Amino acid sequence: MKMSSLLRFATNRDYSLVGPEAARAIEKGLANGEWYKSPIPRKRLKELMARSDGPALRDTAIWLGLILVFGGLGIWLWGTWWAVPVFAVYGVLYASAADSRWHECGHRTAFRTVWINDVVYALASFLMLRSPTAWRWSHTRHHTDTIIVGRDPEIAGMRPPQLIIMVLNIVGLVNVPQSLATLARYSLGRLNAEELDYIPEMERWRVQVEGIVILGIHVAAIVVAIGTWSLLPVVLIGGPNIYGIWLLWWIGNTQHLGLAEDVLDHRLDARTVYMNPVFRFIYWNMNYHVEHHMYPMVPYHALKALHEEVKADCPPASPSVMAAWREILPTILRQLGDPSYFIKKQLPPGAGQLPERVEATHG
């Protein structure tokens, strides 16, 4: 029977990490599998992996400097309509840009100096309402088992798509309450079954401490807002995850949405998208997402060069964010009725293959 015929009859799947799909992934050899990597001479790869503090110090100084400038301006202009565009920029810098800082510093590749990675990682985690420890382990699993159903806790595009939730999250209306509830749970020392699956026992106490600190600061901002009868404290702290997250939603959802599940080849389950320099600054080059997954040791400032090395072995990059959405949107709409449907990226002629490639039985 042809694969396409099989796909037509696939049913909805269980995305939890403790359900039958988890056992299935292990049984099929998809868990902790051997991923395809486009070949690069070791000497060149070493050049690309080289670390330095310079680019990230510059970019972080600009990022934090802009946050302080726009935050200060916003406080100064509070009560006037001029505060609106100022906080619109502040919010994007605070929330949308924090995600990529969280990500790169979580890999400890942005800076050569480890402690600077860790400080920026902690700051960015706070801005994003994330426990640094819980999310470090979640993201570790995401790299081990990228878009493997039953294994990856960071699958954003489940099938069928939860379209209403997706739309509400353009302004964080599901993510923010969920994140606060999760932090509250952490502060009580409670981890759910999935978190217990990927956070080692020796690290769990940290999650509780982080929950108390991060939630505490946000609750304090809310208390001050009520006490002063002003929205300003929550516009400055936490609020950007509502009004400033839209840009991350727009560019970040291009990473994997609509692509294959259960393949050991990042060329098929991740998407590289060309973006303008402003977006690339906000996103710290995570638009080169296939490359990042193939070689997570390469720092963000070398991803463009890495892309040049491997692009002949990869599906063509999406020429723009808009182009990426032009293939994503019809796909997720179709998945509402046919959850087995997905975009099957075509590898260029002569591209390398996994020795025994795992086919996308569920796409």
Partner 1 sequence: MAEWIRACGVDDIDTEDVVRFDHGGRTFAIYRSPDDKFYATDGHCTHEQAHLADGFVMDSIIECPKHNGRFDYRTGAAKGAPVCVNLATYPVRVDGDHVLIELTV
Among 54, 216, 296, 348, binds partner 1 (CB under 8 A): 296
Residues 6+ apart with CB under 8 A from 136: 106, 121
Helices (H) and strands (E) in the chain, counts: 20, 0
Which amino acid is present at 19? G
Is 256 a binder of partner 1 (CB under 8 A)? Answer: no
Closest contact distance (angstroms) between CB of 202 and partner 1 is 6
Other Cβ atoms within 10 Å of 339 Cβ, number: 18
Is 191 a binder of partner 1 (CB under 8 A)? Answer: no
Is 338 a binder of partner 1 (CB under 8 A)? Answer: no
Distance CA 268, CA 291 (A): 12
Stretch that binds partner 1, among 22-30, 56-64, 101-109, 211-219 (CB under 8 A): 101-109
Geometric angle at alpha carbon 29, from 26 and 34, rounded to 5°? 125
Per-residue binding string, partner 1, 197-226, x by CB under 8 A, is ---x-xx-----------------------
Closest contact distance (angstroms) between CB of 124 and partner 1 is 16
Per the DSSP assignment, residues forming a β-bridge with 289 are: none
255 within 8 A of 147, measured Cβ to Cβ: no
Distance CA 54, CA 9 (A): 53
Is 16 a binder of partner 1 (CB under 8 A)? Answer: no
Is 320 a binder of partner 1 (CB under 8 A)? Answer: no
Distances (CA, A) of 182 to 89, 118, 321: 27, 22, 31
Which residues between 31 and 70 bind partner 1 (CB under 8 A)? Answer: 32, 42-43, 46, 49, 51
Q: What is the dihedral of CA 254, 255, 258, 263, to 10 degrees?
A: 170
Six token digits for residue 90: 């502040």
Among 140, 178, 320, 361, binds partner 1 (CB under 8 A): 140
Closest contact distance (angstroms) between CB of 81 and partner 1 is 46
Is 280 a binder of partner 1 (CB under 8 A)? Answer: no
Stretch that binds partner 1, among 139-147, 188-196, 221-229, 300-308 (CB under 8 A): 139-147
Closest contact distance (angstroms) between CB of 113 and partner 1 is 11
Among 16, 144, 162, 178, binds partner 1 (CB under 8 A): 144
90 within 8 A of 64, measured Cβ to Cβ: no
Closest contact distance (angstroms) between CB of 284 and partner 1 is 15
Closer CB to partner 1, 49 or 158, in the complex: 49
Closer CB to partner 1, 61 or 114, in the complex: 114
Closest contact distance (angstroms) between CB of 246 and partner 1 is 30
With left for phi above 0 and alpha for psi between -120 and 50, is residue 284 left, alpha or beta? left
Closest contact distance (angstroms) between CB of 144 and partner 1 is 6
